Amino acid sequence: MVNFSLEGKVALVTGASYGIGFAIATGFAQAGAKIVFNDIKQELVDKGLAAYKELGIEAHGYVCDVTNEDQVNAMVAQIEQEVGPINILVNNAGIIKRIPMHEMSAAEFRQVIDIDLNGPFICAKAVLPTMMKLGAGKIINICSMMSELGRETVSAYAAAKGGLKMLTRNIASEYGQYNIQCNGIGPGYIATPQTAPLRERQADGSRHPFDAFIVAKTPAERWGTPEDLMGPAVFLASEASDFVNGHVLYVDGGILAYIGKQPK
């Protein structure tokens, strides 16, 4: 029988107070995992704890900056003491800055790289020793379609997510011998509160231009939902994927497979 159960597992999902991380952690909880998450501010952690409680999930929240190695190491030690060894890590915390490259400062570029690429490195490094001792572990990096594609104004984000794809493959290469699997999930365009303005109907009832663009580029002809990511994440966190390693699973409604409609 295929085992998708996460019963008894401890899952750390970074930046999971809301949005994609929250949905993934909720899916893990439904599969039986104990949920641990962090965010950069106490108010965000409190917001997340309240949201999990509303769903009947007993989550554990910590304030931690994923780019600070000392803070991450301290958090992981605290989680191991208070909840248990971390069996599953999802590197979800991230930012994007939409700035034309010729207008972007090096400091802004570095900030995106620091959070979106160095953060996953620091968090993975912190949990690997225990996973190696246990002889099992799952690391899931939240990649992006920008791990494969370029687009205007996202040079730093695309560079970070392309790097994260290769970090995913390298962790798989280096630690597969310990029965540790490292894979990525590449979400497509997901309907969240942050993207809601891009989906609002125009005054004449027509779609927002970006909404129309995304729907036309997606074979599924819709935006994804955070819930669309739950099943793929549970699969990659469970024993069902024990021989899947170094793979990026794109949950994009088919965008990357599709050249797009011919103009009329």
Give the catalytic positions in this structure. Answer: 157
Which residue type occupies 151?
R
Instruction: Count the Cβ atoms, other than its own, within 10 Å of residue 193.
Output: 8
> Which secondary-structure segment (H or E) carries 12?
strand 10-14
Sign (positive or negative) of CA dihedral 176, 179, 182, 185: positive
Strand 180-187 and strand 137-142: the pairing is parallel
The alpha carbon dihedral of 124, 130, 133, 134 has a sign of negative
Residue 216 · residue 226 · CB < 8 Å: no
The two tokens of residue 59 are 């989550």
Query: Token pair for residue 68?
Result: 């600070």
Residue 2 main-chain phi, psi, to 5 deg: -70, 135
Q: Which residue's structure tokens are 């997606």?
A: 218
What is the helix (H) or strand (E) element at residue 220, kind and residue range? none
